[in-house]
Amino acid sequence: MVGYTESITDPSYNGQILMQTYPLIGNYGVSPDHFESSGAKIEGYIVREVCRSPNHWSSRWTLDEFLEMHGIPGIERLDTRALTKKIRTEGVMLGILEVYFKGEEPNLKEMKREAQSMEDPAQRDLVGEVCVREIKRHPGREDCQVVLIDCGVKNSIVRNFTSRGATVIQVPPTTSSDRIVKLEPDGVVLSNGPGDPKRVKDVIRTVRSLIELRMPLFGICLGAQIVALALGGDTFKLKFGHRGQNHPCLELRTGRCYISSQNHGYAIDPDSLFETGLEVTYVNANDRTVEAIEHRDLPVFATQWHPEGSPGPNDTNFIFDKFVAMAKDAKKTLR
């Protein structure tokens, strides 16, 4: 019911058709206040029913108008929960949407042939399509500076750091470790993003170099997978991804459960972490996949879930406090 604007504009959905299981979408329209990037990042949109008469003071466009502005095809009047069950049984699959006008009939045979022969979007440089092209600075009010390696970062992640006083220097994923060090960060953040983490080889090499320098590091979603790969771990593709706002994460040390927002199609292989120095600190309560990792000796940790929420719960916003404190401590040590 809520959070559809954030999801549609989330760069992690680049290359994907997004389907919502809640039966009515678009009830409060679309406002730029809820954007997680410059605009829509999805390839297509599937809903059970779209609201064409939204009611909210901040609404600027209907959902239909917004998608048309960005050239995103959509379809409604489908049983999205039945389709979700099929995906959970068969796994993630390729698909296409075709726009046609009243009085026209779609060529189903041709569409099926096209769907069977289409290229897997995961083979594209999805990160390169959504990242910044040059360095961008977001000022904070305190003497704490973090470099954010942008693989498709959400706006709310940047806001969570600047609201805590940290200055964020957003850099392209091709930025070298030497260039990052010259920016004099107190810590480095690895953002979320779309696609297979093994395809961002430049970032993996950069992170490996930064870890060798004992730079404080925090990874989110794709960033967590990159941390594992940089230290010699492995990742794998999930049969169906973890999407949505209510995924339970168990902290292994305390047994406490946190409700989280998630959006990933790959996961860290826990068996591959044996000689990496990384420990699993949280697991998913539903399927026991890795949800967070932390290095035993170095200032490095990462979460597979999205601690910023947006959309979703704010249960784990404290993760940002943890990293800002880690960065400030490292700065004091260097002094």
The set of catalytic residues is 221, 306, 308
| DSSP per position, 231-255 | TT--EEEEEEEEEEEEEEEEETTT-
Residue ranges of alpha helices (H) inside 14-165 are: 63-69, 80-90, 108-117, 126-130, 155-162
Distance of alpha carbon 256 from alpha carbon 326, whole angstroms: 23
Among 132, 155, 87, 138, which residue's Cα sits nearest to residue 311?
155
302 in Cβ contact with 223 (< 8 Å): yes
146 in Cβ contact with 189 (< 8 Å): yes
Judged by DSSP in three states, 294 sits in: strand
Angstrom CA distances, 175 to 132, 171, 200, stand at 11, 7, 12
Peptide bond into 313 cis (omega under 30): no
Distance of alpha carbon 76 from alpha carbon 60, whole angstroms: 22
Among 326, 31, 332, 322, which residue's Cα sits nearest to residue 160?
322
